[in-house]
Chains A and B, each alone.
Chain A
Amino acid sequence: MAAASIWNIFKRELVSYFNSPVSYVFIVIFLMLNGFFTFMVGDFFGRGVADLYAFFQWFPWLFLVLVPALGMNIWADEKRMGTIELLFTLPLTTLQAITGKFLAAWVFLIFAILLTFPIIITVVWLGQPDYGPIVCGYAGCFLMGGAYLGIACMTSAMTSSQVVSFILSEVICLFLIFCGWDAFTNILVNWAPGWFVDTMASFSVMTHFASIRRGVIDSRDIIYYCSVIGFSLFTTAMLLKNHRS
């Protein structure tokens, strides 16, 4: 019963993504930026190694810019257009609605990521890559994208303005990136004890992504991303419950 309601919402949302021209613009920009960064800035050919290191290293930053844009609409739109009350008259719980919408956005993001398949073909044609890190890299992208999306969901439930939601989720995601970024932690090291810096680094999306990207599936990384998603969706539910009551 619960699964059916989630599925209905999921289907409805997913179809609306493909009907919206914004989604196509999103995908085109995402893919072109990806290609640009991989080949021009990432020096794919200069490295001379048949792996996708130069390709994956940009994802945290690309997602930072694009995923909040994807997620800002999820609840802010409903609130703005007043359809949220309509939504909650349907026979489903808040949690089911949230899950359905989130899953639709996530599947759409995964679809966009998978459209980068030409790079896989390229690297297989050029040499003999190690498939382990490639599979893990994509898995890491899915999880990281899910985490950013969860945060975007959460911020879009906080406000009815898309812009505010976008900026809020940008800031939070930026914080999650920075706490593990070398340039930042090197400054921290000067005035904070070692364990504090290490703990901060473990909050970061970057460290966990780098860890998966090597080709190692570590339960700690999976739990990290799942807990970010879980926390975001739970908070979304808390925020929306007010609306219900």
Chain B
Amino acid sequence: MIYSFAGIAMALVIAVSINIVATEFYFRADLTSDKAFTLSESTRKIISELNVPVSIRFYFSKSSPQAPGNLKSFASRVEDLLEEYKVASRGALKIEKLDPSPYSDAEDAATMEGISSQMLNSGDRIYCGISINSLDRYSTLPFLAPEKENLLEYDITRAIWEVTHTEKKTMGVISALPVLGIDKVQPTPEMLASGKFNPPGAWIPFKELEETYELKKIPLDASQIDDDINVLVLVQPVGISEQCKRAVDQYLLRGGKLAIMLDPCSFYSIIKASTEPSYRALVSCDLPEFFKAWGVSYNGNIVLADMTFATRIQVPQSNVTYPTILDISSDGLNHENTVTALLERIGLVFAGFFDVKPPNGLKKETLIHSTTDSMPVSAFIANRPELLLRSFSPSGKVFDFAVMLRGEFRTAFPDASVKNGAASKSLQRSVSSNSMVVLVADTDFLFNDVCVQFSKDQFGRKFYLRKNDNINFFQNLIEYMTGGNGMADIRCRQTSSRPFLRINELRSKSEQDYKNKILALEKDLVETQNKISSLQKENSGRYSKYVFSPEQETELKKFQEKSMAARKELKELRKGLYGSINRIENTIKWLNILFVPLIMVIAGLLWAAAVRRRSSSK
């Protein structure tokens, strides 16, 4: 007996030790199709380079019974993700999970750290946020939205990066458009009168960059571009002064990075011009000196129409195809270049194109291009789809919307030294191989309405979802040009939700029928109501308001019958709406529960009968 007890105890110790050892040396295979439990390469790289301790606190009201189901399952996925971070960091990251139940210490901590709560209908507050800190630097994700789950890894990694890197790269912005928002706005009398004085903020692509970069607004008449500008972005720089152009030129030749977005037809300016005529001058832009030096052909009055990438917009009664509002798919993107490698969809509005014949020493790489089913058209008819469609014929050529130029640049102002007389220090050609120029023939792709969709979440808070990869393109570009933190691949992760497609199809079809019938019924009721009121008006003289004439009596009766019938019909419709769905669900339920058991019972009985027969025949 003793022998066996000792043996069992030994076996237990061995089993436990094996498990402990296994925790140190393990391997995993992520079999999910979205690789949802594997951190991307960039995150791993950033985390493995951590040399300071980082602490992550996840606040979630786990114990609150009122927390919505989808939030709870989302929170458990967040915990899984944080677990991955911890494992990948090998000790540098500390993860804490806290439950800010009412009046707890955790709740006080959450409030102090800036984690916001949402009030439910029941009056309870629930928390679902993350706070990250390293030494004395803090970053908070106040409330995680399940709708933006696919960007969660990016938000967390970016916050970790922010608290561990003190130096932000600087991005200079020169623009005639208010891309960085309007700081000092003079309210017009109309604005004051309407009571809505809301100076618009920065455009969303820029706003998002504010967290990782230092954004510096450079005036259109600047005389010098400082060396601390890591990347210079020009957006529709109409009215840029001569000396500013020279400053930009010198900046480039010193080894600077230049991103120029200009538009032959700025949709934003066209819209704004209706209320502020000063915007009319901003509709089109050109930079001839630079383009000449770089071998770029560009016409500020020509827009490209592409039938393959055209968007179909639904207006009442019909669908209109806009060949100049482009929804560029993967086919138009260069997957060899880091900036566009992982992008799938770009939206451009009234874009122009570049024809680049680079001089010696410069190399061009196309980032975004059209199909051969395209044709250059005048910017005047960009907004007139019917004219465009009538005169369209494919050119058979591919046009470049966005290009990257690298190599040895020559100055766009070769006369500078001559003009100055005294020994001028201005450069004639680039002195560094770092010089880089990216040209994009559109500015509207950065505009809020073109790149995001605003929506309200289940708590009524406004949030936005990316409609396409425009923001990702812009951010990848800036990151690439500043030799950044390599977060391009995390940025483009998608998590798919997997709904019951068949049931959703049924439901939307039924709802469509239901909606149409409701509209018809309501119209009917409204007509009857109108008839009654018109009758009342007729009789206002002869009878008092509360005594009805015989005609009115009959109409009233008809109305009451009609409304009762309508209500009944609506009830029937509603039952029918969900009826077919309920039927399917019930069938599936009972099939699953009873089908195989029934077969087993039958099989068992058959087998028993066979055995009995065999034994009785013996």
Using a CB–CB cutoff of 8 Å, the interface residues on chain A facing chain B are 18-19, 21, 24, 27-28, 31-32, 35-36, 38-40, 45, 47-51, 115-119, 122, 125-133, 135-136, 202, 214-220, 223-224, 227-228, 230-231, 234-235, 238-239, 241-242
Q: Determine whether B32 belongs to the interface, using a CB cutoff of 8 Å to chain A.
A: yes
Q: Determine whether B80 belongs to the interface, using a CB cutoff of 8 Å to chain A.
A: yes
Question: Contact: B31 with A215, CB < 8 Å?
Answer: yes
Question: Contact: A116 with B596, CB < 8 Å?
Answer: yes
- CB-based nearest A residue for B585: A45
Question: Contact: A132 with B31, CB < 8 Å?
Answer: yes
Q: Which residues of A contact B22 (CB under 8 A)?
A: 219-220, 223-224
| A138 smallest CB distance to B (angstroms) | 12
Q: Are A223 and B19 CB-contacts (below 8 A) given A50-B500, A215-B37, A231-B11?
A: yes
Q: Which residues of A contact B26 (CB under 8 A)?
A: 218-220
Q: Which residues of B contact A18 (CB under 8 A)?
A: 607
Question: Contact: B31 with A21, CB < 8 Å?
Answer: no
Using a CB–CB cutoff of 8 Å, the interface residues on chain B facing chain A are 1, 4, 7-8, 11-12, 15, 18-19, 22-23, 26-34, 36-37, 69, 80, 497-503, 585, 588-589, 591-597, 600-601, 603-604, 607-608, 611
- CB-based nearest A residue for B611: A19
Contacting residue for B499 out of A50, A118, A227, A241, CB 8 A: A50
Q: Which residues of B contact A118 (CB under 8 A)?
A: 591-592, 595-596
Question: Contact: A217 with B611, CB < 8 Å?
Answer: no
Q: Could you give 9 example pairs across A and B, Cβ below 8 Å?
A: A50-B500, A126-B500, A126-B502, A135-B31, A136-B31, A202-B23, A217-B31, A218-B26, A235-B11
Compute how far the CA of A218 lies from the CA of B31 in the bound complex, rounded to whole angstroms: 10
Question: Contact: B500 with A133, CB < 8 Å?
Answer: no
Compute how far the CA of A239 lies from the CA of B607 in the bound complex, rounded to whole angstroms: 36
Which 8 pairs of residues, A with B, have the shortest CB-CB distance? A35-B593, A132-B31, A24-B604, A215-B32, A231-B15, A238-B4, A223-B22, A132-B32
| A229 smallest CB distance to B (angstroms) | 10
Compute how far the CA of A133 lies from the CA of B597 in the bound complex, rounded to whole angstroms: 25
Q: Which residues of B contact A28 (CB under 8 A)?
A: 597, 600-601
Compute how far the CA of A51 lies from the CA of B23 in the bound complex, rounded to whole angstroms: 29
Question: Contact: A216 with B37, CB < 8 Å?
Answer: yes
Compute how far the CA of A202 lies from the CA of B600 in the bound complex, rounded to whole angstroms: 37
Question: Contact: A133 with B32, CB < 8 Å?
Answer: yes
Compute how far the CA of A115 lies from the CA of B69 in the bound complex, rounded to whole angstroms: 30
Contacting residue for B498 out of A31, A40, A49, A115, CB 8 A: A49
Compute how far the CA of A27 lies from the CA of B7 in the bound complex, rounded to whole angstroms: 36
Known contacts A202-B19, A220-B22, A239-B4; 5 further A-B pairs (Cβ under 8 A): A24-B601, A28-B600, A31-B593, A127-B498, A231-B15
- CB-based nearest A residue for B21: A223
Q: Which residues of A contact B12 (CB under 8 A)?
A: 231
Q: Which residues of A contact B8 (CB under 8 A)?
A: 234-235, 238
Q: Which residues of A contact B497 (CB under 8 A)?
A: 49
Contacting residue for B19 out of A51, A117, A128, A220, CB 8 A: A220
Q: Which residues of A contact B604 (CB under 8 A)?
A: 21, 24
Q: Which residues of A contact B501 (CB under 8 A)?
A: 50, 126-128
Q: Which residues of A contact B15 (CB under 8 A)?
A: 227-228, 230-231
Q: Which residues of B contact A220 (CB under 8 A)?
A: 19, 22-23, 26
Compute how far the CA of A27 lies from the CA of B500 in the bound complex, rounded to whole angstroms: 29
Compute how far the CA of A202 lies from the CA of B18 in the bound complex, rounded to whole angstroms: 13
Question: Contact: B32 with A38, CB < 8 Å?
Answer: no
Q: Which residues of B contact A241 (CB under 8 A)?
A: 4
- CB-based nearest B residue for A215: B32
Question: Contact: A216 with B28, CB < 8 Å?
Answer: yes
Question: Contact: A130 with B498, CB < 8 Å?
Answer: yes
Compute how far the CA of A139 lies from the CA of B15 in the bound complex, rounded to whole angstroms: 21
Question: Contact: A48 with B601, CB < 8 Å?
Answer: no
Compute how far the CA of A131 lies from the CA of B585 in the bound complex, rounded to whole angstroms: 22
Q: Which residues of B contact A215 (CB under 8 A)?
A: 30-32, 36-37
Contacting residue for B29 out of A31, A128, A131, A216, CB 8 A: A216
Compute how far the CA of A47 lies from the CA of B585 in the bound complex, rounded to whole angstroms: 13
Compute how far the CA of A125 lies from the CA of B500 in the bound complex, rounded to whole angstroms: 9
Q: Are A39 and B593 CB-contacts (below 8 A) given A45-B585, A231-B15?
A: yes
Compute how far the CA of A86 lies from the CA of B149 in the bound complex, rounded to whole angstroms: 63
| A225 smallest CB distance to B (angstroms) | 10
Q: Which residues of A contact B595 (CB under 8 A)?
A: 118
- CB-based nearest B residue for A122: B588
- CB-based nearest B residue for A230: B15
Compute how far the CA of A40 lies from the CA of B585 in the bound complex, rounded to whole angstroms: 11
Compute how far the CA of A120 lies from the CA of B387 in the bound complex, rounded to whole angstroms: 54
Compute how far the CA of A138 lies from the CA of B594 in the bound complex, rounded to whole angstroms: 21
Question: Contact: B4 with A242, CB < 8 Å?
Answer: yes
Question: Contact: B592 with A122, CB < 8 Å?
Answer: yes
Compute how far the CA of A217 lies from the CA of B12 in the bound complex, rounded to whole angstroms: 25
Contacting residue for A39 out of B32, B33, B37, B589, CB 8 A: B589
- CB-based nearest B residue for A130: B33
- CB-based nearest B residue for A233: B11
Q: Which residues of A contact B11 (CB under 8 A)?
A: 231, 234-235, 238
| A168 smallest CB distance to B (angstroms) | 14
Compute how far the CA of A215 lies from the CA of B603 in the bound complex, rounded to whole angstroms: 34
- CB-based nearest B residue for A29: B597
- CB-based nearest B residue for A44: B589
- CB-based nearest B residue for A239: B4
Question: Contact: A129 with B498, CB < 8 Å?
Answer: yes
Question: Contact: A242 with B18, CB < 8 Å?
Answer: no
Compute how far the CA of A128 lies from the CA of B501 in the bound complex, rounded to whole angstroms: 8
Q: Which residues of B contact A224 (CB under 8 A)?
A: 19, 22
- CB-based nearest B residue for A119: B592
Compute how far the CA of A41 lies from the CA of B315 in the bound complex, rounded to whole angstroms: 46
Q: Which residues of A contact B593 (CB under 8 A)?
A: 31-32, 35-36, 39
| A132 smallest CB distance to B (angstroms) | 3
Q: Are A130 and B19 CB-contacts (below 8 A) given A32-B594, A39-B589, A219-B26?
A: no
Compute how far the CA of A231 lies from the CA of B8 in the bound complex, rounded to whole angstroms: 8
Compute how far the CA of A224 lies from the CA of B15 in the bound complex, rounded to whole angstroms: 8
Q: Which residues of A contact B601 (CB under 8 A)?
A: 24, 28
- CB-based nearest B residue for A40: B589
Q: Which residues of A contact B80 (CB under 8 A)?
A: 214
